[in-house]
A and B are shown apart, each in its own frame.
Chain A
Amino acid sequence: MDIPYTSKPRPDTGLYNAKVGIWLFLASEVMLFGALFSSYILLRVGALEENWPHGLLNIPIGTFNTAVLIISSVTVVMAWASLKMKQFGRFKIFQAITVLCALAFLGIKSFEYKDKFTHYEVWKTDGTRMTGHIEGNPMFLTKAKLVAAGKDKIEFLADPHHYSEGKLKIGAQSGEHKHVEIAIGDIKRLSAFVPAHSTYFAIYFTLTALHALHVLGGAIVIGFLFGPGSKMWHTDPDRFTNRVEVAGLFWHFVDLVWIFLFPVLYLL
């Protein structure tokens, strides 16, 4: 038995069924990300200014990644338009570019994550705080791990500016990095910029990782439609075009979410 209304519209809705389905799914996605955005707002307004990190994310890289996602949004709609014009070759090119953009986005995001996992904040027993890198760029170190490893000090390359001192303009330099030696006994707390560091990084990783999972899921579907799934073009072109449109609608939503995530997490 054939699945009804996969290519022709239902008389009562005027839409093929998959389109109704994807919009209902996107409606639920709006509420999912909406709930997390509202969590962000509550955490942000409840935080003391000196405890809310800012300026720690790389804005040029974030801007470039935003542009990559926008380009992929253009190519995904161009792929659909190519099928509407019966240009299967052009569809393949645009679809391939979309997948490459998705992989580029995830690659850049992974680089950003790794950068955070090797960037630390030290709270000293005298009440001072500093951010920077530990010699050797280890990941996920804590004071407990240092004590367990029998270390009595760390070599620390301290950043010239701490976020509690206020926001720096893009590209502004506030001095040189300083090499300091910190005794373990002088450390009250040590944390990389991981979710456990602060509410900011907890919500940053929650939002961006959930978004990245959406990018990955979208890339898999778009990749399938580029590769083995594209065989349907030769047997049922209307249905295949609709599949590409539905995948594109999801992809645009992923782009739309990032349009809000970028300023909220990187710039404000």
Chain B
Amino acid sequence: MSDHSEDISKHIRGYLIIGGTLIIGTVLTVLASQLELGHAGNIILALVIATVKATLVALYFMHLISEKQMIYTVLAFTAFFFAGLMAITLSAYHDFPNLTVTH
């Protein structure tokens, strides 16, 4: 991100717009959870909205839209291991023994 004060002042309006969008996204998340889309449908929609909101935070508030290469490299490794973690978790989806007691 540019460090010049004139550039920064231009970004301030953007921060407010992103903030407003995130609040609207939160209300949409709540409304979307009331739709009858089936359990999987509701989960997917909620996670899609959450991912869009998280992306806005990361790109604009955390300035990832214009960062240095090293930060992207660190995050690429993080994304790889996070995806691996989730893949291992999801691969265990059918591995629950019968009559598993969960409470």
Q: Are B70 and A20 in contact (CB under 8 A)?
A: yes
A197 to B47, CA, bound (A): 27
B22-63: CB near A (< 8 Å → 1, else 0) gives: 110011011001100000001100110110011001100110
Using a Cβ–Cβ cut-off of 8 Å, how many residues does chain A contribute to the interface with B? 55
A244-268: CB near B (< 8 Å → 1, else 0) gives: 0000110011011001101110011
Q: Are A170 and B34 in contact (CB under 8 A)?
A: yes
Contact of B30 (CB < 8 Å), options: A15, A48, A81, A267:
A267
A34 to B82, CA, bound (A): 7
A20 to B14, CA, bound (A): 25
A249 to B74, CA, bound (A): 15
List the 5 shortest-distance A-B pairs measured between CB atoms, nearest first.
Answer: A74-B19, A267-B33, A38-B89, A263-B46, A27-B78
A146 contacts the other chain (CB 8 A): no
Which single residue of chain B is at the shortest CB-CB distance from A51?
Answer: B103
Residues of B within 8 A of A70 (CB): 19, 22-23, 26
A149 contacts the other chain (CB 8 A): no
Known: A23-B71, A46-B100, A85-B9. A267 touches B90 (CB 8 A): no
Query: What are 12 A-B contacts with C-beta separation under 8 Å?
Result: A14-B69, A15-B68, A15-B71, A27-B78, A43-B102, A45-B93, A46-B102, A63-B27, A197-B103, A252-B62, A255-B57, A256-B54
Contact of A38 (CB < 8 Å), options: B62, B71, B85:
B85
A31 to B89, CA, bound (A): 13
A34 to B78, CA, bound (A): 10
Which single residue of chain A is at the shortest CB-CB distance from B81?
Answer: A31
Q: Are A199 and B102 in contact (CB under 8 A)?
A: yes
A interface residues, Cβ below 8 angstroms from B: 13-15, 19-20, 23-24, 27, 30-31, 34-35, 37-38, 41-43, 45-48, 51-52, 59, 63, 66-67, 70-71, 73-74, 77-78, 81, 84-86, 169-170, 197-199, 248-249, 252-253, 255-256, 259-260, 262-264, 267-268
Residues of B within 8 A of A262 (CB): 26, 29, 50
Report the minimum CB–CB distance from B75 to chain A (whole Å). Answer: 7
List 7 extra interface pairs beyond A47-B102, A63-B27, CB under 8 A. A31-B81, A38-B88, A43-B102, A86-B5, A252-B58, A263-B29, A263-B46
Residues of A within 8 A of B22 (CB): 70, 73, 259
A85 to B11, CA, bound (A): 12
Q: Are B77 and A81 in contact (CB under 8 A)?
A: no
A35 to B43, CA, bound (A): 19
Report the minimum CB–CB distance from B59 to chain A (whole Å). Answer: 11
A267 to B47, CA, bound (A): 11
Residues of B within 8 A of A13 (CB): 68, 70
Known: A35-B85, A38-B89, A260-B50. A73 touches B57 (CB 8 A): yes
Report the minimum CB–CB distance from B24 to chain A (whole Å). Answer: 10
Which single residue of chain B is at the shortest CB-CB distance from A75?
Answer: B19
Q: Are B61 and A73 in contact (CB under 8 A)?
A: yes
A81 to B4, CA, bound (A): 10
Which single residue of chain A is at the shortest CB-CB distance from B89?
Answer: A38
Contact of B43 (CB < 8 Å), options: A27, A66, A268:
A268
A71 to B96, CA, bound (A): 41
Known: A263-B46, A263-B49. A74 touches B15 (CB 8 A): yes
Q: Which of A47, A86, A263, A268 has the most CB of B within 10 A?
A: A263
